[in-house]
């Protein structure tokens, strides 16, 4: 006798859940955080799951893989992360963007050590007490690591559920969120393994039930016989397109000041209230209007009377900003004493927490630097 559906559930939920679990067992990608732990009773290492989920928020898997490996190699346990200097954490995060996630993860690790004796909590309610851990991340860690029947809803999950039920809405429509969470909860409750089901549901959205302009790979979908959007030929219409974010245009003039010994002047951005808060950069002037001329720019960075000419220009697109960078490079005058910032030896430059555009401006790769020997940067003067 089959068990009744969970609250908000439907009679076919168990069939749907099993179909996803079976499909995931053979179709899942080989990803570094999908390593079974040695400890009994765990599906995944909970610390690794927490790090991976923080990195994967609003970031493609392909960009996360190498960063995740380097992060775990440098900080293999939650206690290591809790003890780490914030600048080290930010340097390891370089290239992933949304640096507040790194700061929140660092703060969460400290709380885990202080409040939970160094063990990542098993239940979603306790997980949500951690800095930066919301309903989705709490559900993901609780289910993936501890096999708890907790629902998850992200963009991939929302797309699968909206197409499965042919709901004509955008995945970020506030009016449809309660229904999405209700359906996710009913399905994970019906699953034999919440861990396999939730990972499978996310995997299905990421690799098969693709968003436009890509066409979903319906012949490979384990839910194609149940999918109402597929049955009515509306796969590309559902979900509705999200409202496009409005981007502000920002002009950034970067002045790379190098000494004869190769040391480069870096200054630290304010700790809060700005993009890339707390990261380091070459002296930079930002404006949403026209940039200052060469003379005004030289004066702004403390090099009055020096001739500045652009070395290169490039664009960088952020979620809410379209940024145009102009890079100048100049030799430090003899006896030059900057009003703020520090000169950093060339051998240490890659070890500082720098945004992706600043790494390009400074001629560095997008890697996180030599994590094993990363130094604590000196305090900025001013």
What pLDDT does residue 176 have? 97
Same domain, 188 and 259: no
Same domain, 224 and 325: no
With respect to residue 118, please indicate whether it lies within any of the assigned structural domains: yes
Beta strands in 181-229 (DSSP E): none
Instruction: Using the 3D structure, point to which of 231, 259, 280 is the last residue of a domain.
Output: 231
With respect to residue 5, please indicate whether it lies within any of the assigned structural domains: no
Structural domain range at position 93: 13-231
Instruction: Using the 3D structure, point to which of 206, 231, 256 is the last residue of a domain.
Output: 231
Beta bridge partners of 327: 254, 312
With respect to residue 256, please indicate whether it lies within any of the assigned structural domains: yes
Q: How many CB atoms lie within 10 A of CB 73?
A: 11
The DSSP symbol for 240 reads: B
Pick the range with the lowest mean pLDDT from 46-60, 94-108, 117-131, 282-296: 282-296
Same domain, 214 and 75: yes
What pLDDT does residue 295 have? 86
- Whole-number average pLDDT of the chain: 90
CATH classification of the domain holding 199 = 1.10.340.30
Same domain, 279 and 365: yes
Q: How many CB atoms lie within 10 A of CB 323?
A: 18
pLDDT band at residue 307 under the 50/70/90 scheme: confident
pLDDT digits (tens, 9 = 90+) for 326-353: 999 999 998 888 888 999 999 999 889 9
With respect to residue 1, please indicate whether it lies within any of the assigned structural domains: no
- The answer to whether the peptide bond before residue 239 is cis (omega within 30 degrees of 0) is yes
Task: State mean pLDDT over 242-263.
Answer: 90
**What are the φ/ψ torsions at residue 194 (nearest 5 degrees)?**
-55, -35
Same domain, 29 and 83: yes
Report the percentage of the chain scoring pLDDT > 70: 93
pLDDT band at residue 5 under the 50/70/90 scheme: low
Task: State mean pLDDT over 36-52.
Answer: 91
Same domain, 60 and 207: yes
pLDDT digits (tens, 9 = 90+) for 258-270: 999 999 999 999 9
Structure tokens at 228: 């109402």
Beta bridge partners of 43: none
What pLDDT does residue 370 have? 37
Same domain, 136 and 107: yes
Same domain, 299 and 359: yes
Number of folded domains that form the chain = 2
User: What gap in Å lies between CA 322 and CA 246, rounded to an integer?
Assistant: 10
Parallel, antiparallel, or unpaired for β 264-268 and 280-281? antiparallel
User: What gap in Å lies between CA 189 and CA 17, rounded to an integer?
Assistant: 9
pLDDT digits (tens, 9 = 90+) for 48-77: 999 999 999 988 999 999 999 999 999 999
Instruction: Using the 3D structure, point to which of 196, 231, 266 is the last residue of a domain.
Output: 231
With respect to residue 174, please indicate whether it lies within any of the assigned structural domains: yes
pLDDT band at residue 139 under the 50/70/90 scheme: very high
What pLDDT does residue 198 have? 98
Same domain, 68 and 104: yes
What pLDDT does residue 320 have? 84
Same domain, 224 and 262: no
What pLDDT does residue 291 have? 77
State the first-to-last Cα distance of the chain, in angstroms, to the nearest integer.
72
What pLDDT does residue 243 have? 80
With respect to residue 184, please indicate whether it lies within any of the assigned structural domains: yes
What pLDDT does residue 305 have? 82
Same domain, 52 and 175: yes
Instruction: Flag whether pLDDT at 375 surpasses 50.
Output: no
Which residue in the list 53, 203, 235, 267 is annotated as catalytic?
53
pLDDT band at residue 272 under the 50/70/90 scheme: confident
CATH classification of the domain holding 326 = 3.90.79.10
User: What gap in Å lies between CA 55 and CA 218, rounded to an integer?
Assistant: 29
Instruction: Flag whether pLDDT at 37 surpasses 90.
Output: no
Give me the helix-helix angle, 86-93 and 61-74, nearest 10°.
150
With respect to residue 240, please indicate whether it lies within any of the assigned structural domains: no
Same domain, 253 and 284: yes
With respect to residue 6, please indicate whether it lies within any of the assigned structural domains: no
Is 53 annotated in the active site?
Answer: yes
Beta strands in 209-333 (DSSP E): 248-258, 264-268, 280-281, 284-287, 310-317, 321-331
């Amino acid at each position: 006798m089959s068990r009744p559906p969970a609250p908000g559930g439907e009679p076919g939920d168990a069939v749907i859940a099993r179909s996803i679990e079976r499909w995931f067992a053979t179709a899942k990608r080989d990803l570094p955080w999908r390593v079974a732990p040695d400890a009994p009773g765990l599906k995944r290492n909970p610390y690794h799951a927490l790090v991976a989920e923080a990195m994967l928020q609003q970031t493609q898997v392909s960009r996360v893989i190498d960063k995740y490996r380097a992060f775990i190699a440098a900080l293999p346990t939650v206690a290591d992360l809790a003890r780490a200097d914030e600048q080290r954490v930010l340097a390891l995060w370089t290239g992933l963007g949304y640096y507040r996630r790194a700061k929140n993860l660092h703060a969460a690790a400290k709380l885990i050590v202080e409040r939970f004796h160094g063990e990542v909590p098993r239940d979603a309610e306790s997980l949500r007490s951690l800095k930066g851990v919301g309903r989705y991340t709490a559900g993901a860690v609780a289910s993936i690591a501890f096999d708890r029947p907790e629902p998850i809803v992200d963009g991939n999950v929302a797309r699968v559920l909206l197409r499965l039920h042919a709901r004509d809405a955008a995945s970020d429509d506030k009016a449809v969120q309660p229904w999405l969470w209700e359906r996710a909860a009913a399905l994970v409750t019906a699953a034999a393994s919440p861990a396999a089901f939730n990972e499978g549901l996310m995997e299905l959205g990421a690799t098969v039930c693709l968003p436009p302009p890509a066409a979903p790979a319906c012949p490979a979908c384990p839910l194609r016989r149940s999918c109402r959007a597929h049955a009515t030929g509306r796969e590309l219409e559902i979900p509705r397109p999200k409202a496009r974010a409005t981007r502000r245009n920002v002009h950034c003039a970067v002045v790379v000041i190098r000494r004869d010994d190769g040391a480069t002047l870096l200054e630290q951005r304010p700790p809060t209230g700005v993009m890339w808060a707390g990261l380091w950069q070459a002296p930079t002037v930002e404006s949403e209007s026209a940039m200052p001329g060469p003379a005004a720019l030289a004066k702004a960075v403390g090099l009055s009377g020096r001739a500045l000419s652009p070395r290169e220009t490039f664009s960088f697109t952020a979620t809410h900003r379209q940024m145009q960078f102009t890079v100048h490079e100049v030799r430090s005058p003899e006896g030059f004493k900057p009003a703020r910032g520090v000169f950093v030896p060339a051998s240490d430059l890659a070890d500082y927490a720098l945004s992706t555009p600043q790494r390009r401006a400074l001629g560095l790769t997008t890697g996180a630097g030599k994590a094993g020997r990363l130094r604590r940067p000196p305090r900025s003067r001013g």
